Amino acid sequence: MISMEFTIDYLKQLALKVHGVVHPLLGRKEASVKSERSAGGDMTMYIDQVAEEIIIQSLKEDKVNCLLISEEIGEKYIGDENQAKKNQHVLIIDPLDGSNNAVRGIPYSSVSIAYAVGNKMNDIIRAVVLNLNTREVYWAEKGKGAFLNNTQIHASDLDITQKCFFELNLPMKNLMKTLQKLAPLIRRFYRIRILGSSALTLCQIASGSMEAFINLRETNRLVDVAAGFLILNEAGGKIFSLDGKEINEGLSIEIKFPFIACNVKLESFLKTELINKNSK
């Protein structure tokens, strides 16, 4: 690789290579064969391995120097470790976000690729999320906006009095108690969805197809949201912690956190509602 940085076109090509090997496996029985537990904590399936292997192979062939943070392998230096540390080049990748959807043939899964120069989420400067079913590409460069294929996208301007769609992702522990606490909030939304790919849902909010994503699971991983984090921000959306603060976690496979994502019109409403619920 001639450039010292990862261009947006290079990230798109990586994502397309994943699509090339994963798409033929969608909904196939062999895709779900399990091997071992991944660094992210889930059981690795054959389809996950295939997706990650094509990325690692491509990075090695292109002789890049970077820290790779990926769902299955965890953290691994590719190329010259000292050079990668010096330049602070980091790739944060979920080779297949929505694995369970993918193996069952449910058309909602993606590959998520974020590139950072630094060690915090705010250091992410380029991001790509590719829909593995439709081949649509969401992408963003810091300070330059967010796009779906070649069209610039923006979060919607609907407020809580209008027909807002949102996704809800809750931990199974104390599920009924959590639902009871959230009931007044849930009733204010027009429709609820539970879709199964955090990266893709953040892009749905970025493009105005949905208005909010309430993800209360403590096990939510950095690799799930790193690319969507930049894409949503560049589309004018908001993402924050359960106490209403900015999210700027370190770049590590160990990082896990719940979050709220939404358009600007819902930010104040959700912060008020969720902070009050959280404090009780």
pLDDT digits (tens, 9 = 90+) for 30-48: 888 876 655 555 668 999 9
Mean pLDDT score, 141-161: 97
pLDDT score recorded for residue 38: 56
Asked whether residue 78 is assigned to any structural domain, the reply reads yes
Same domain, 96 and 29: yes
- Give Cα separations from 150 to 43, 146, 147, 182, 219 (angstroms): 36, 10, 6, 38, 34
pLDDT digits (tens, 9 = 90+) for 55-90: 999 999 999 999 999 988 999 999 999 999 999 999
pLDDT score recorded for residue 277: 57
Same domain, 209 and 229: yes
Among the ranges given (5-9, 53-57, 65-69, 235-239), the one the predictor scored with the smallest mean pLDDT = 5-9
pLDDT band at 158 (very low <50, low <70, confident <90, very high): very high
Among 128, 114, 166, CA closest to 270:
166
Same domain, 144 and 179: no
Same domain, 85 and 61: yes
Same domain, 125 and 201: no
Question: Which of 92, 121, 153 corresponds to the end of one domain?
Answer: 153
pLDDT digits (tens, 9 = 90+) for 172-203: 888 888 888 888 888 889 899 889 999 999 99
**Half-sphere exposure at residue 267, Cβ-oriented, CA atoms within 13 angstroms:** 16
152, two tokens: 């610039």
pTM across the whole model: 0.93
Percentage of the chain lying above the pLDDT 70 cut:
93
Structural domain of residue 136, as residue ranges? 8-153
The count of structural domains within the chain is: 2
Question: Which of 118, 153, 188 corresponds to the end of one domain?
Answer: 153
What secondary structure does DSSP assign to 86-120, as a single string?
A: HHTEEEEEEEEETHHHHHHT-S--EEEEEEEESSB
Question: Which of 128, 153, 178 corresponds to the end of one domain?
Answer: 153
Mean pLDDT score, 3-11: 82
What secondary structure does DSSP assign to 61-93, as a single string?
A: HTT--EEEEETTTEEEEES-HHHHHHHTEEEEE
* Amino acid of residue 173: K
pLDDT digits (tens, 9 = 90+) for 225-234: 999 999 999 9
Asked whether residue 2 is assigned to any structural domain, the reply reads no
Same domain, 216 and 119: no
Same domain, 144 and 28: yes
Same domain, 30 and 127: yes
Same domain, 121 and 179: no
Same domain, 223 and 199: yes
Q: Quick check: 143 pLDDT over 80?
A: yes
Same domain, 146 and 41: yes
pLDDT score recorded for residue 1: 41
Kindly report the CATH number assigned to the domain that includes residue 250: 3.40.190.80
Compute the residue count for the chain.
Answer: 280
Asked whether residue 3 is assigned to any structural domain, the reply reads no
Same domain, 26 and 148: yes
Asked whether residue 143 is assigned to any structural domain, the reply reads yes
3 state DSSP class of 125: strand
Asked whether residue 185 is assigned to any structural domain, the reply reads yes
Query: What's the rounded Cα separation, in Å, for the pair 184 and 197?
Result: 26
Kindly report the CATH number assigned to the domain that includes residue 47: 3.30.540.10
Give bridge partners of residue 169 from the DSSP assignment. Answer: 215
